Structure 1
Amino acid sequence: MDCETAEEQGGLGLPPGALGGPGWCGSPALGGRREPKKYAVTDDYQLSKQVLGLGVNGKVLECFHRRTGQKCALKLLYDSPKARQEVDHHWQASGGPHIVCILDVYENMHHGKRCLLIIMECMEGGELFSRIQERGDQAFTEREAAGIMRDIGTAIQFLHSQNIAHRDVKPENLLYTSKEKDAVLKLTDFGFAKETTQNALQTPCYTPYYVAKQLIRLLLKTDPTERLTITQFMNHPWINQSMVVPQTPLHTARVLQEDKDHWDDVKEEMTSALATMRVDYDQVKIKDLKTSNNRLLNKRRKKQAGSSSASQGCNNQ
């Protein structure tokens, strides 16, 4: 079952693709949540041992729909409040532009543990930067870069309209639908996503590799009140007029190819940087100062104890 079939079967009364242009999934889950299916996923899908990728909370396996033979991707999550939250956020976003489409969700037992199985469209085009690396001698242009940033921004803007912050926009989570030239770039992995009621979600979510210099400066402001909102980003001429951006050849493909051996380290650094930007205040625990074993605090305690002893000695005299 592909995304357009899912759209027709969802009872929306729309022809395939009617929800939007390229990048729209057409999932019936758009804007809402549904209950997972309780029967065995193997009734509908034939599972493979082929690992397609690793998400924040679980691995992704290849699978095939038994009736249609459609290749899909299955993500296995052991059931927990965090896993349920990931499923809810992705399901709510599924059907949006440039968001990987969810086809089915199952609640099954696996190795004696309750788990959630997310069936998604199979993104056979691979990661964004891998695709650029494979260009070889064919120049990667500024216009293409602007188009990519527009697609990423479109996905982020849709998520913000749903009061969802993805919080893990990085190369591994930007995938192409196929190897073809007209493949669509989509965002996946909602393991760090968070629902928010704030009107302005202003965390920078863009890889500054490509963006025009003046746009980079506006995205990297440390003060959120000075940083571009997603709406301002999408209204920037380099983004909303990407088709008229010059075809200036960029050195990106060559740089990525030359530094291929170091790319895993680069991605690890990006992941680490994103982690420092995520602060879940509802999970922050304030330690009791009396029981804390902090090194700096212990040093201060010793200093205070010494001062107190010296003071008592003077009083005794």
Structure 2
Amino acid sequence: MGICASSAARRAGGSAGASTRRNGNRRRERDQDGAGEANRKRKDDRQAKEGGGGGGGGNGKQGGGAVPCGKRADFGYARDFAERYSLGKLLGHGQFGYTYVAVDKVNGDRVAVKRIDKSKMVLPIAVEDVKREVKILRALTGHENVVQFYDAFEDDSYVYIAMEYCEGGELLDRILAKKDSRYTEKDAAVVVRQMLRVAAECHLHGLVHRDMKPENFLFKSSKEDSPLKAIDFGLSDFINPGKRFLDIVGSAYYVAPEVLKRKSGPESDVWSIGVITFILLCGRRPFWDKTEDGIFKEVLKKKPDFRRRPWPTISNSAKDFVKKLLVKDPRARLTAAQALSHPWVREGGNASDIPIDISVLNNMRQFVKYGRLKQFALRALASTLDGEELADLKDQFAAIDVDKNGSISLEEMREALAQDLPWKMKESRVLEILQAIDSNTDGLVDFTEFVAATLHVHQMEEHDSEKWQLRSQAAFEKFDIDRDGYITPEELRLTGLKGSLGPLLEEADIDKDGKISLSEFRKLLRTASMGSQNLPSSSGYRNLRKI
């Protein structure tokens, strides 16, 4: 979405036109006349799109057949477009609509307008796509790095989406205009930071962009320091915590491994930003082949090459940042908010503009569901970590600790969990979470207690396996009092665990020998809070787009 007059916009519909342009691949399957089989397949795919159901947004509610002949959808939008705006020059067009510059009749401001033809919306899913895109733009409007949504209108023939007009061109054009098609580290960090802020905001709303790439970011103006704006939410969708998308969408060079495996979530946006960062810094794609299948094999199997020029001259901090975004295991990949706390991208930024990480809130919710032994084990692990390892969680703690007194109160916890989230939470549930995290029962959550409840264990192991071994062993030894290599029920009692210890021990005692070994303790720490997803996998690829 959004509008620009760059060469890319002129040749393909630009900004708001970009949405229809890129949605063409997605919507071609449901076009009219002769698309019956593709439409049926698309409908089935969409209904099974999110593992376990409950995706919100446009998931699972699409109707069956086509819209009755002669009947056009009523969206419930305002019908005074012609009184509000005058359409100007055509900027581009896509499969379902045209993009224009328009003038506000009241104040004379230029805006972007995407005009979508209702006669092309043959299937209910096409109607749902438009409604979802408007819903997404409404949810994100006000964020400085998202193209601003003004309003949606309709008449008997068209839907009109009015939004911010961006004149600075696509990020892709600026990359290509740079010497050797690459940015300096300082300039790249500024760009990447803005993309991460968009991703973090999306994820906080339970939204996944699903097609982050340079063409989907515009500059507001032609100035060098112009803000970057995210556009084209045509493939974006809402998802509930712990659920996974089962369909394959995106653009070939930027698609994450888990998307190809048909079990993706918000982490896929971070992978795409990692690919963009790689390109910004070296002028090449990290995964390339002459064919789409070849690209996918590279994405699934190959590691990025940091030995070729110019990588030896690029800072270790930048390389560390890119590597942590291009981790193939999504559980071990940095979240968007965590990436904003990384030293390389944070330089020039500050903690106050780092948003709350949706994964931190989700982890706190999951902590309540853990057995008491795992909660104790995580607290022990948290106590072994140093400042450098906790930089991102310090930022998150500071974001929630509004009065900056070094602890999180019930009111501050309530405020954090009352964000515009994809789930609602009762007051009693907020209190339950605070009480589970509050190990010393003083009614407050201090930083160590917070860390225990919000740790990303898979990241620790992936990013530095040697340090993980040392930290997890140190945590184990807090329970293994006699240092014989096992934790016994008596040692659990001595470290403060009360009540019946038999069932407690079973939480980690895999071989049922009545005690816990170091390997069993580590497996306990690794246990995924969401449980097994049992998601299907497929080698089929669809809706993937090359640049």
Give TM-score, length-normalised by structure 2: 0.35
Q: Give the match for residue 210 of structure 1.
A: 280
Question: How far does the alpha carbon of each residue in 1:55-105 deviate from its partner, in whole angstroms, 9 at most, with x for none?
Answer: 686442111111222111001234511111111111111112300001121
Q: How far, CA to CA, are the matches of 2:237 and 2:177 in structure 1?
A: 34
Question: How far does the alpha carbon of each residue in 1:185-234 deviate from its partner, in whole angstroms, 9 at most, with x for none?
Answer: 11011111111122772112311313622222222222211222112211
SS at match of 2:327: coil
2:190 to 138, 147, 152: 147
Deviation at 1:148, TM superposition (A): 0.3
Q: Is residue 212 of structure 2 the alignment partner of residue 169 of structure 1? A: yes
| Runs of 4+ that moved beyond 3 A | 53-59, 132-140
Q: How far, CA to CA, are the matches of 1:169 and 1:102 in structure 2?
A: 19
- Seen in structure 2, the aligned counterparts of structure 1 residues 139 and 191 have a Cα distance that, compared at 3 Å, is closer
SS at match of 2:153: strand
- Seen in structure 2, the aligned counterparts of structure 1 residues 100 and 55 have a Cα distance that, compared at 3 Å, is farther
SS at match of 2:112: strand
Q: Give the match for residue 117 of structure 1.
A: 160
Task: Output the aligned Cα RMSD.
Answer: 3.0
Q: Give the match for residue 423 of structure 2.
A: none
Give, as a single letter, the amino acid of the residue that structure 1 aligns with 2:338: Q
Q: How far, CA to CA, are the matches of 2:95 and 2:227 in structure 1?
A: 23
Q: Which has the larger share of strand?
A: 1
Deviation at 1:158, TM superposition (A): 0.9
Matches within 5 A, 1:120-139: 120-134=163-177
Q: Is residue 277 of structure 2 the alignment partner of residue 237 of structure 1? A: no
Matches within 5 A, 1:85-96: 85-96=132-143
Q: How far, CA to CA, are the matches of 2:156 and 2:135 in structure 1?
A: 19
- Seen in structure 2, the aligned counterparts of structure 1 residues 58 and 219 have a Cα distance that, compared at 3 Å, is farther
- Seen in structure 2, the aligned counterparts of structure 1 residues 162 and 97 have a Cα distance that, compared at 3 Å, is farther
SS at match of 1:74: strand
Q: How far, CA to CA, are the matches of 1:185 and 1:55 in structure 2?
A: 23
SS at match of 2:233: coil
Deviation at 1:116, TM superposition (A): 2.1
Q: How far, CA to CA, are the matches of 1:192 and 1:138 in structure 2?
A: 28
Matches within 5 A, 1:186-265: 186-198=229-241, 201-203=266-268, 204-206=271-273, 207=276, 208-210=278-280, 212-242=318-348
Task: Confirm or deny: 8 A CA contact 2:182 2:280 kept in the other structure.
Answer: no
Q: How far, CA to CA, are the matches of 2:176 and 2:100 in structure 1?
A: 24
Task: Confirm or deny: 8 A CA contact 1:143 1:243 kept in the other structure.
Answer: no
Q: How far, CA to CA, are the matches of 1:50 and 1:145 in structure 2?
A: 32
Give, as a single letter, the amino acid of the residue that structure 1 aligns with 2:108: G
Of the structure 1 ranges 210-219 and 229-238, higher mean CA displacement relative to structure 2 is found in 210-219
Of the structure 1 ranges 66-75 and 124-133, higher mean CA displacement relative to structure 2 is found in 124-133
Task: Confirm or deny: 8 A CA contact 1:57 1:191 kept in the other structure.
Answer: no
Q: How far, CA to CA, are the matches of 1:58 and 1:240 in structure 2?
A: 40
Report the identity percentage.
Answer: 29
Q: Give the match for residue 76 of structure 1.
A: 115
Question: How far does the alpha carbon of each residue in 1:281-308 deviate from its partner, in whole angstroms, 9 at most, with x for none?
Answer: xxx9x9xxxxxxxxxxxxxxxxxxxxxx
Segments of structure 2 that go 5 or more residues without pairing to the other structure are 1-74, 119-126, 243-264, 282-317, 351-535, 539-547
Task: Confirm or deny: 8 A CA contact 1:75 1:117 kept in the other structure.
Answer: yes
Task: Confirm or deny: 8 A CA contact 2:181 2:280 kept in the other structure.
Answer: no
SS at match of 1:50: strand
Identify the structure with bigger relative contact order (alpha carbons < 8 Å, sequence gap 6+).
1
Task: Confirm or deny: 8 A CA contact 1:57 1:83 kept in the other structure.
Answer: no
Q: Give the match for residue 257 of structure 1.
A: none
SS at match of 1:190: coil
Deviation at 1:108, TM superposition (A): 1.7
Q: How far, CA to CA, are the matches of 1:220 and 1:136 in structure 2?
A: 25
Q: Which has the larger share of helix?
A: 2
- Seen in structure 2, the aligned counterparts of structure 1 residues 238 and 161 have a Cα distance that, compared at 3 Å, is same
Q: Give the match for residue 145 of structure 2.
A: 98
Question: How far does the alpha carbon of each residue in 1:112-133 deviate from its partner, in whole angstroms, 9 at most, with x for none?
Answer: xxx3211011001110121344
Q: How far, CA to CA, are the matches of 1:139 and 1:209 in structure 2?
A: 7
Q: How far, CA to CA, are the matches of 1:56 and 1:168 in structure 2?
A: 18
Q: Is residue 108 of structure 2 the alignment partner of residue 61 of structure 1? A: no
Give, as a single letter, the amino acid of the residue that structure 2 aligns with 1:202: E
Q: Is residue 71 of structure 2 the alignment partner of residue 48 of structure 1? A: no
2:79 to 2, 21, 39: 39
Deviation at 1:240, TM superposition (A): 1.1
Give, as a single letter, the amino acid of the residue that structure 2 aligns with 1:93: L
- Seen in structure 2, the aligned counterparts of structure 1 residues 194 and 138 have a Cα distance that, compared at 3 Å, is closer
Give, as a single letter, the amino acid of the residue that structure 2 aligns with 1:205: S
SS at match of 2:280: coil
Of the structure 1 ranges 153-162 and 131-140, higher mean CA displacement relative to structure 2 is found in 131-140
Give, as a single letter, the amino acid of the residue that structure 1 aligns with 2:129: K
Give TM-score, length-normalised by structure 1: 0.59
